[in-house]
Amino acid sequence: MTALRGLGGLGALTAALGLVATLTTVTGCADEESEALLRPHVAPTRAADCVDLPGLGGDPGILLGTDWSGEHHDFADTATVYACVAASLGGRVSLWVEGSGIRVAPRLVPVDPSNGGIVPFRVTVSKGAAGRLRVVQQGDAGQGDLAGPGVLTDAGGWHFVPHP
């Protein structure tokens, strides 16, 4: 009986160590994804390759998000944020601004199924700006609305940061 208890304790220890390893791996992946957002990288060619897809695998579990990088820009410089959408849903996509001093162009773009679900938007930020972006897809089959990058400014310029 004592030997069985010892094995049970060993089994519990093994299970606990496995859980710690799994949590460490999951946390490491999240850190790697956050770092990928901040580094300059090649523009995606299909929506599934975007680095900021908060809805994928979660609620609402649809392909909707953004792709951007966090390098520093001077005020009035333009950077690109890619809206990443389910091209099969069609409709229109926009990048909304929550805040002030942030301009986005174009305002509304029809989803073209041939572009892989990637829609580029130009973002320009003025001194003293504050806020974040949201990606919105509206179509006959429904709509989606998810947080995009935040915008942080400092004395010399601005950059994108992960959504809160």
Greatest CA separation found in the chain?
Answer: 75
User: Is 70 exceeded by the pLDDT of residue 154?
Assistant: yes
Q: What is the pLDDT of residues 17-69, one digit of tens each?
A: 333 333 333 333 445 555 655 678 889 999 988 988 876 555 455 789 999 99
Share of the chain above pLDDT 70, in %: 72
User: Is 80 exceeded by the pLDDT of residue 155?
Assistant: yes
Q: What is the pLDDT of residues 77-119, one digit of tens each?
A: 999 999 999 888 889 999 999 999 999 999 999 998 888 999 9
Domains, the chain, ordered by start: 39-161 (2.60.40)
Please choose, from the candidates 32, 141, 148, the residue with its C-alpha nearest in 3D space to the C-alpha of residue 92: 141
Q: And the tokens for 106?
A: 């174009």
